[in-house]
A and B are shown apart, each in its own frame.
Chain A
Amino acid sequence: MSGLTYEVVVVGAGIVGAACAEECVRQGMRVAVIDRDVIGGGATAAGMGHIVVMDDSEAQFALTRYSQQLWQQLRPELPLDVEYEPCGTIWVAADEEEMAEVRRKQSYYGQRGVPTEALDPQTLERLEPNLRKGMAGGLLVPEDVVLYPPCAARFLIERAQAAGAKLHLASSISQIGKGLVRLADGTEFSAAAIVNAAGAWASALTPGLSVKKRKGHLAITDRYPGFVHHQLVELGYLKSAHSTSADSVAFNVQPRKTGQILVGSSRQYGAEHAEVDTGVLTRMLQRAQQYMPKLAELSTIRVWTGFRAATPDKLPLIGPWPGNPTLFLATGHEGLGITTSLATARLLVDQIAGRNPAIPVEPYLPSRVPAEHAYA
């Protein structure tokens, strides 16, 4: 049958696939984007939408900071509905042990050029009066941002389309082969490079790839402007979110431009169904209320779930897949795909096009992860 021929076919129109497509087009490549559903309909729609610097590892720091700077450069071009809000993050310390982490984090960020401000209990209470009294303090990271990811993904896709990219939505993929993508309806796309950016579903399209679904719950309130002013994250998160096996909840809230408050978070492995798990949801909301007791008085209007694409070492997979010389991966971003989408796109296209990357790509290469890595 007559094939559709491109230089690059991107599988997945979430924020990562959208960013990759846009970057390919900017490099002058002929690009098609295929998604089984809609633009930004997976983790992109389900997640919180933060652009945050994180320091679980040097590689995570390098990628998040690089990408945050790319978002800062893109900001003047973002439409209003992306709701780019540089509200900053406050890491909330409940006790002295967590204040030690505030000092460590401040030193780490400071050495790498990220501005921060350590907050004493009085300052924290003044900045966020609805937090529980008696917190030990916090760390303000003012350059962190929240935004509305589905509109950001749509913006990137539309930019790619304006420069010639073709978009195929509601198109189920039956197979990714060598230089070939076949849809369930038999349509075939041939391409010199194929990018698997299918998020938590990437493994289904690339046998041997080990990306696990890590389920999350979120709730959103009605509009209460001024109830919370920064993204707030508990530093106890370090104790709960880093386990690769146990279910966990952590306090994380975000003010949205509408005045709504996004309330999270939960992490579950081995939960394949999208239904709301009332036990996990209850724990998550109780955790949030421990930090912000007045949240209990607010009206929650919606609760939903989504699936993060998790890798064993909590770093994304960006680069060639050893099992197929035409296949590249851009997945495994876990809870940081919005943040790291733009840097992922740069590093991926650097590799496809033979450009020099701005940061070392080695920590993100898929070849670092043994196929079908056994999870702890």
Chain B
Amino acid sequence: MPEPITVTVNGNSIAVPPGATVAVAIVLAGAACRKSVSGETRGPLCGMGICFECRASVNGQPHCRSCQIICQPGMEVRTE
């Protein structure tokens, strides 16, 4: 097994296998990605960058499609 890498999701350290997407880290953290305008929680749906439901803040950049970003060590992820 390759060494896991560690990112933070809402300040909590989460270990993921190398190559895992940010969406995976968010799921492992037990978090939802974002909230709709009417306040519903939203998470990954299509997994291929089309539906935009998995957006989250990555390293301070809001509205990143978390299913399209590979986790890097020390990445800071924030959900709504």
- B1 close to chain A: CB less than 8 A: no
Task: Return the chain B residue nearest A260 by Cβ.
Answer: B37
In Å, the complex CA distance between A222 and B53 comes to 12
Asked if B62 is an interface residue, CB under 8 A from chain A, the answer is yes
User: A residues within 8 A CB of B37?
Assistant: 223, 258
- Residues in B with CB closer than 8 Å to A224 are 62-63
Residues in B whose Cβ lies below 8 Å from that of A258: 37
Chain B residue at smallest Cβ distance from A301: B52
Residues of B contacting A301 with CB < 8 Å?
A: 52
User: Which of chain B's residues have a CB closer than 8 A to the CB of A222?
Assistant: 55, 62-63
In the complex the two chains form, what is the Cα distance from A258 to B35 in whole Å? 12
User: Between A and B, how many residue pairs show CB distances below 8 Å?
Assistant: 11
Q: What mask results when residues 221 to 232 of chain A are scored 1 for a CB within 8 Å of chain B, else 0? A: 011100000000
In chain B, positions 29-49 with a C-beta closer than 8 Å to chain A are 37
In Å, the complex CA distance between A194 and B63 comes to: 49
How many chain A residues sit at the interface, stated as a range, is under 10
Q: Which residues of A contact B62 (CB under 8 A)?
A: 222, 224
Hey, which chain A residues are within 8 Å of B63, CB to CB?
A: 222-224, 299
* A299, B52: Cα distance in complex, Å: 11
Give Cα distance in the complex from A299 to B61, angstroms. Answer: 10
Chain A residue with the shortest CB-CB distance to B35: A223
Among A222, A223, A224, A301: residue with most chain B CB under 10 A: A223
- Minimum CB–CB distance from B26 to chain A (whole Å) comes to 18
Nearest B residue to A299 via CB reads: B63
Residues of B within 8 A of A299 (CB): 63
**Once the chains are docked, how many angstroms separate the CA of A295 from the CA of B52?**
20
Instruction: List residues of B (48-72) whose CB comes within 8 Å of A's CBs.
Output: 52, 55, 61-63
Q: Which of A172-223 contact B (CB under 8 A)?
A: 222-223
Closest 10 CB pairs of A and B: A222-B63, A299-B63, A258-B37, A224-B62, A222-B62, A223-B63, A301-B52, A222-B55, A223-B37, A297-B61
Give the A-binding residues of B (Cβ under 8 A): 37, 52, 55, 61-63
5 CB contacts below 8 A, A to B, read A222-B55, A223-B37, A223-B63, A224-B62, A301-B52
Contacts A223-B37, A301-B52 aside, 9 further interface pairs with beta carbons under 8 A come to A222-B55, A222-B62, A222-B63, A223-B63, A224-B62, A224-B63, A258-B37, A297-B61, A299-B63
